């Protein structure tokens, strides 16, 4: 059977309708569409510019003396390698029966397949977020069962200068969602109507001003074999200049990261991508007002690492260790002041403390500002054989929920005579601003 153009549009609209209805993460992130066709075998590279920051001076009686020069401007660059394709396949007869809106709604094969596709895309997006954020509060492994534990995540973001609630969202699992509902209708005597609503209809909507999404697709992190108290800084003066960490080059997601030398991990100990640790004596720093944020800086491991036989390893971390010298406004030191992340460089031998027990699976709950995570979409190349159709770029640009461009491909196997169909789409999530999110758990 030959698929007509109107029929293909109906099928593609059905695919997109199902995706929009099932993607839990669709309105929790930012989207970037690319008009360039993606070669589904090679992909392509996208680079985004990161704007500079500056030191703010304050003087009394006269303007600041600039005889020593103006502040340097250093742009950053975030580079992403995009090569991820999601898809499913089925017999052509499972789809070619879609000829009317009614038949599209009744087509279980297509509906079930696309629903499963949406779940897998959600997991991909939540996995990128779970491994990407450096901030962490709560005790790893503990469920969220009180609003105060939820609010602690919002507080951490506020302490990181995200004081407005605009575009901040949260993702929980259904167990946490249920326990928060239980808290509301058991312990809400002052607001009885809210308790009754939570009991009868379930807890929905917002908490502490933050929209909540409950989902089964939250990703997990399995910690490495290192012990929670293992690891120490191997060598002093491991702080870096912002200019050295500002350009990620061809490495996806390496903006504002650096390599850190550590030891005493134990022979051949492992550290997993997405793990979080603190360093003794190294506090988070607020460059806007020039002081410590009042808590140890959280560092996230970017890419897994394995120690050698002596227990030493080189680990890539975010954020890079950038120190404010307290006085400079020009040159590299001035740039560092504007982008400082810690109040002091770690001393040689300073101890590391990892979150979570070794070799244990954890599923973090997350809260973040939408711009922290970006998902890229692009049209796939059209096939040379069979019948190929895809959603147009114009349609995707008008889509404010999920601007994806799935490709529909009908073809026949000349050896068996079987008629087949496949649906593929390109989407890849990346971390754009790691510091704008937090992994959080309850308290013991």
pLDDT for 318 equals 97
Whether 345 and 239 have beta carbons less than 8 Å apart is answered as yes
pTM of the model: 0.92
- Over pLDDT 90: what percentage of the chain? 61
Among 30-39, 146-155, 224-233, the minimum mean pLDDT is found in: 30-39
**pLDDT digits over 54-71, tens only?**
988 888 998 988 888 898
For residue 186, is pLDDT > 70? no
**pLDDT digits over 349-381, tens only?**
999 999 999 999 999 999 999 999 999 999 999
- Over pLDDT 70: what percentage of the chain? 93
- Joined together, the tokens standing for residue 215 give 């989902």
pLDDT for 304 equals 94
- pLDDT bracket for residue 42 (50, 70, 90): low
pLDDT for 333 equals 92
Length of the chain as a residue count: 444
Asked if the bond preceding 319 is cis, omega within 30° of 0, the reply is yes
**pLDDT digits over 290-330, tens only?**
999 999 999 999 999 999 999 999 999 999 999 999 998 89
pLDDT for 91 equals 85
Contacts of 379 (CB under 8 A, 6+ apart): 35, 37, 38, 390, 391, 393, 405, 407, 426
Distance of CA 428 to the CA centre of its chain: 11
**pLDDT digits over 382-437, tens only?**
988 888 999 988 898 899 889 999 999 998 888 888 888 899 999 999 999 999 99
Whether 296 and 264 have beta carbons less than 8 Å apart is answered as no
| Average pLDDT of the residues in 96-124 | 86
The shares of helix, strand and coil residues in the chain, as percent rounded to the nearest 5, are 25, 30, 45
pLDDT for 193 equals 61
Whether 399 and 16 have beta carbons less than 8 Å apart is answered as yes
The residue with greater pLDDT, 253 or 202, is 253
Domains in the chain (CATH in brackets) are: 5-56+76-130+373-425 (no CATH), 221-362 (2.40.30.240)
- pLDDT bracket for residue 200 (50, 70, 90): low
């Amino acid at each position: 059977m030959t698929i007509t153009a109107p029929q293909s549009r109906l099928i593609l609209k059905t695919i997109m309708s199902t995706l929009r209805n099932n993607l839990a993460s669709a309105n929790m992130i930012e989207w970037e569409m690319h008009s360039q066709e993606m070669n589904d075998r090679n992909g392509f590279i996208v680079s985004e510019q990161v704007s500079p920051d500056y030191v703010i001076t304050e003087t009394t009686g006269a303007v600041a003396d600039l005889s020593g020069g103006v502040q340097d401007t250093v742009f950053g660059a975030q580079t992403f390698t995009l090569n991820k394709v999601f898809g499913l396949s089925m017999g052509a007869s499972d789809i070619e029966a879609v000829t009317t809106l009614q038949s599209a709604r009744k087509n279980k094969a297509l509906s079930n397949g696309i629903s499963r596709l949406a779940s897998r895309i959600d997991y991909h997006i939540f996995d990128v977020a779970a491994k990407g954020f450096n901030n962490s509060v709560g005790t790893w492994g503990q469920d969220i069962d009180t609003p105060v534990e939820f609010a602690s995540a919002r507080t951490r973001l506020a302490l990181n200068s995200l004081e407005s609630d605009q575009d901040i969202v949260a993702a929980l699992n259904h167990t946490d969602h249920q326990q928060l509902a239980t808290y509301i209708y058991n312990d809400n005597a002052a607001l009885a109507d809210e308790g009754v609503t939570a009991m009868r209809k379930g807890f929905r909507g917002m908490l502490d001003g933050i929209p909540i999404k409950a989902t089964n697709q939250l990703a997990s992190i399995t910690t490495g074999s290192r012990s929670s108290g293992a690891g120490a800084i191997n060598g002093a003066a491991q702080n870096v200049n912002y200019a050295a960490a500002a350009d990620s080059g061809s490495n996806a997601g390496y903006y504002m990261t650096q390599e850190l030398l550590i030891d005493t991990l134990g022979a051949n100990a492992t550290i997993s991508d997405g793990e979080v640790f603190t360093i003794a004596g190294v506090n988070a720093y607020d460059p806007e007002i020039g002081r410590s944020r009042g808590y140890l800086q959280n560092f996230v491991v970017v890419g897994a690492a394995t120690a050698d036989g002596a227990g030493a390893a080189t680990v890539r971390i975010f954020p890079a260790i950038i120190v404010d010298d307290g006085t400079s406004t020009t040159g590299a030191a001035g740039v560092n002041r504007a982008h400082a992340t810690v109040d002091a460089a770690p001393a040689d031998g300073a101890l590391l403390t990892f979150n979570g027990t070794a070799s244990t699976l954890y599923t973090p709950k997350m809260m973040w500002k939408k711009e922290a995570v970006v998902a890229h979409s692009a049209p796939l190349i059209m096939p040379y054989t069979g019948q190929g159709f895809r959603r147009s770029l114009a349609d995707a640009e008008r889509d404010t929920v999920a601007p994806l461009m799935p490709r529909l491909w009908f073809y026949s196997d000349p050896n068996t005579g079987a008629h087949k169909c496949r649906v593929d789409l390109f989407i890849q999530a990346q971390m754009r601003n790691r510091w704008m999110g937090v992994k959080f758990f309850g308290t013991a």
